[in-house]
Amino acid sequence: MADTDEKEEQKELEAKQDDKSFVSQLLPWMLLFVIVLFCVMIGLGLGRLFAGSRTLELPQSDSRPDQITLLKAEEHSAKDAEKVWYYELDPVVANLNEPGVTRYVRATFTLEISPEIDEKKGTDFLNEKKPVLTNWLTVYLSSLSLNDIRGDKNLRSIQSRVCDGLNEILFPNSKPQIEHVLIKEFPVQ
């Protein structure tokens, strides 16, 4: 019987040692995790502290007049208030996204601008932004394939996407001022 009690005690002792060895193996990893977590928290806190100081120096968007306000006509007659005006973009030539074949499109667009925008101020603004608009159009048209530009449904889709894209570039976060995009020329070769 004493032999059996000694064996049971030895088993209990070995089980306790296994538990201690597991805890002693896990303890360094837990400690490392806590240290890393602490360092990350300090890094995030310092990042917010320094980033916050820069954002306080920037002017608030409410205090700065938006682009539409700057371009509005000062005085409108009733007749001018309903009159849209047009701005013709330079032709854009872009290679189509056709693997193995060199195909390109030469597109010329005319923008129909809202009567809210003064024609002279708007023309000056669009002339200044013309390189950005040409770049966007070239990149957009280069992403299209031959199947994307065939048919009237696809052309209307292109008109809509160009209108949305140019409004986003010119008048971000405000009411769109380009009412329609008209296709003047769109030959594909």
pTM as predicted:
0.60
Q: Which element (helix H / strand E) includes 184?
A: strand 178-185
Instruction: Note the pLDDT tens digit of each residue in 130-167.
Output: 999 999 999 999 999 999 999 999 999 999 999 999 99
Query: At 163, is the secondary structure helix, strand, or coil?
Result: helix
Of 120, 131, 112, 126, the residue nearest 178 (C-alpha): 112
How many CA atoms are closer than 13 Å to the CA of 56, on its beta-carbon side? 6
CATH superfamily of 67-185: Band 7 domain (3.30.479.30)
Instruction: Note the pLDDT tens digit of each residue in 30-68.
Output: 778 888 777 777 777 666 666 544 434 444 444 445 666
* pLDDT over 70 percentage in the chain: 73
pLDDT of residue 23: 62
Could you tell me the two tokens for 4? Answer: 């059996």
Question: Where along the chain do its domains lie?
Answer: 1-58, 67-185
Q: Contact at 8 Å (CB) between 112 and 88?
A: no
pLDDT of residue 130: 95
What region does 151 belong to: left with phi over 0, alpha with psi -120 to 50, or beta? Answer: left
Q: Return the bridge partners of 148, or none.
A: none
